[in-house]
């Protein structure tokens, strides 16, 4: 019997990258999956490769008007959603001084407001069901504030805050556990799909992302974090891991280091070297 044999997991952003890796890992562990995203064919391809029942439930995460109907569809299909994974999101690569304010609205809607809405709409159902587990895929960027990612860092920092606060209200009283996941560089299309200063997709990747960790390894660690009811999982190595730790242990030193690094990156970026 699989580790999650009697569970239903709803994953947003399930068509590729971390979301796809999670769908495979949960299915291999026996769970039924609800797969959401915008690309129907890609979601169906993921579903076709799973060994357990799945529901392809495509939607735009910021379509707030219809979000409650998607929640109803997921719960009607599964009977309950035992694990909700807020994974859908978009990153950013642009200097703040040159970024259109609309980019901030769009990105924060996708990366922060949308997962809050999806979570809020399910909380009463989760309480009535006797418990659940909510996972938010944030980022090390939400802890340390790297350059070229002001909107992204703001959204991911806010997501950590919302989930940490939510945990205080629901973990003891309602048996709803909350895990924040802070990945560093993971080999996905995150930088290729990142928004630029005018809101268009960047269209190319970063070397550190291309050489990042395997999403399957992150998925394995997330399943373990859920099993162990871990409040926060930092999945990073090297400088990214040390910076995330230093944000708490020695923030002044971190700020000084990031300021120097940010100045160098900003100069290169303005000169046209945004690799």
Question: Measured between alpha carbons, how far is residue 49 from residues 2, 23, 73, 241, 256 in Å?
Answer: 17, 10, 22, 33, 47
d(CA 184, CA 152) in angstroms, rounded, equals 13
User: Is 152 in the active site?
Assistant: yes
What are the tokens at 154? 């703001």
* Three-state SS letters, the chain: CCCCCCCEEEEECCCCHHHHHHHHHHHHCCCEEEEECCCHHHHHHHHHCCCCCEEECCCCCCCHHHHHHHHHHHHHHHCCCCEEEECCCCCECCCHHHCCHHHHHHHHHHHHHHHHHHHHCCHHHHHHHCCEEEEEECCCHHHHCCCCCHHHHHHHHHHHHHHHHHHHHHHHHHCEEEEEEEECCECCCCCCCCECCCCCECCCCCHHHHCCECHHHHHHHHHHHHHCCCCEEEECCHHHHHHHHHHHHCHHHHHHHHHHHHHHHHHHHHCCCCC
Q: 236-252 as b/e, with b when 16 or more CB fall inside 10 Å?
A: beebbeebbebbeeeee
Catalytic residue among 104, 152, 162, 269: 152
Q: Which residues have a catalytic role annotated?
A: 152
């Amino acid at each position: 019997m699989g580790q999650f044999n009697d569970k239903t997991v709803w994953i947003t952003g399930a068509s590729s990258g971390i979301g796809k890796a999670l769908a495979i890992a949960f299915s291999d562990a026996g769970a039924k999956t609800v797969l959401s995203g915008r690309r129907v064919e890609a979601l169906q391809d993921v579903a076709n490769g799973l060994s357990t029942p799945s529901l392809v439930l495509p939607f735009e995460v910021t379509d707030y008007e219809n979000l409650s109907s998607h929640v109803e569809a997921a719960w009607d299909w599964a009977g309950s959603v035992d694990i909700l994974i807020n994974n859908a999101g978009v990153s950013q690569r642009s200097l703040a001084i040159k970024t259109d304010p609309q980019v901030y609205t769009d990105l924060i809607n996708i990366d922060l407001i949308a997962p809050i809405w999806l979570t809020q709409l399910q909380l009463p159902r989760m309480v009535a069901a006797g418990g659940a587990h909510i996972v938010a895929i944030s980022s090390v960027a939400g802890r340390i504030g790297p350059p070229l990612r002001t909107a992204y860092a703001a959204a991911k920092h806010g997501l950590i805050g919302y989930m940490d606060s939510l945990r205080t209200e629901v973990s003891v009283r309602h048996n709803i556990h909350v895990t924040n996941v802070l990945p560093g560089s993971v080999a996905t299309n995150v930088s290729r799909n990142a928004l630029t200063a005018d809101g268009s997709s960047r269209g190319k990747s970063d070397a550190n992302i291309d050489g990042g960790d395997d999403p399957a390894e992150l998925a394995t660690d997330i399943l373990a974090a859920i099993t162990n009811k871990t409040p926060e999982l930092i999945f990073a190595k090297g400088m990214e891991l040390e910076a995330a730790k230093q944000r708490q242990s020695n923030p002044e030193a971190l700020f000084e280091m990031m300021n120097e690094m940010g100045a160098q990156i900003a100069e290169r970026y303005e000169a046209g070297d945004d690799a």
